[in-house]
Chains A and B, each alone.
Chain A
Amino acid sequence: MATNGSGSGGAVATRGTASNYLQRGPSPSGLADVLDLILDKGLVIDAYVRVSVVGIEILTIDARIVVASVDTYLRFAEAVNRLDLSETGGVGLTELGGDGAKKKVQGAMEGAGDEMKKSGGKVKEMVKGGRK
Chain B
Amino acid sequence: MAEAAIYVYGVVRGGEPLELPDGVDGATVSLHDGDGLAVIVSHVADRPVQATRRNLEAHAAVLAAALAERDPVLPMRFGIVLPDAAAVEAEVLGASRGELESLLARFAGTAEFELKALYPDQAALLEEVVRDNPRIAGLRGRGGYHEQIQLGELVAAALDERRRSDEGFLLDALTPLAVDRRAREELPERVAAKLSFLVDRNRQAEFEERAEQLAQECHTRLQLRLDGPLPPHNFVDLALPAGAAA
Contacts and interface: CB of A to CB of B under 8 A. Distances in A.
Interface of A: 4, 6, 8, 11, 14-15, 17-29, 31-54, 56-57, 62-66, 68, 70, 72-81, 83, 85, 88, 94, 97
A44, A48, A83 interface centre (most CB from chain B within 10 Å): A48
B213 A14 contact: yes
Contacts, number: 236
Contact of B56 (A39, A44, A48, A94): A39
Contacts of B234: 37, 41
Given A36-B194, A66-B188, A45 B91 contact: yes
Interface of B: 8, 10-11, 47-53, 56-57, 59-61, 64, 74-82, 87, 91-92, 96, 103, 114, 116, 122-123, 126-127, 129-131, 136, 140-141, 148-149, 151-153, 155-156, 159, 184, 186-190, 194, 209, 211-217, 219, 223-231, 233-234, 236-240, 242, 245-246
Given A53-B51, A83-B130, A97-B141, A27 B64 contact: yes
Contacts of B230: 27, 37
B56 A80 contact: no
13 contacts: A8-B213, A18-B215, A22-B211, A23-B225, A27-B61, A34-B53, A38-B60, A43-B11, A46-B239, A46-B245, A48-B242, A76-B155, A83-B140
Contacts of B215: 18, 21-23
A48 to B, nearest CB: 5
Contacts of B136: 80
B56 A34 contact: yes
Given A43-B240, A50-B80, A36 B184 contact: yes
A65 B77 CA distance: 22
Contacts of A63: 188
Contacts of B82: 45, 48
Nearest to B244: A47
- 4 closest residue pairs by CB, A with B: A73-B152, A51-B79, A47-B245, A22-B215
Given A19-B212, A28-B114, 12 more contacts: A20-B216, A24-B227, A32-B188, A37-B230, A38-B75, A44-B238, A45-B242, A48-B82, A48-B246, A65-B186, A73-B149, A83-B126
Contact of B151 (A8, A29, A77): A77
A80 B127 CA distance: 8
A37, A72, A79 interface centre (most CB from chain B within 10 Å): A37
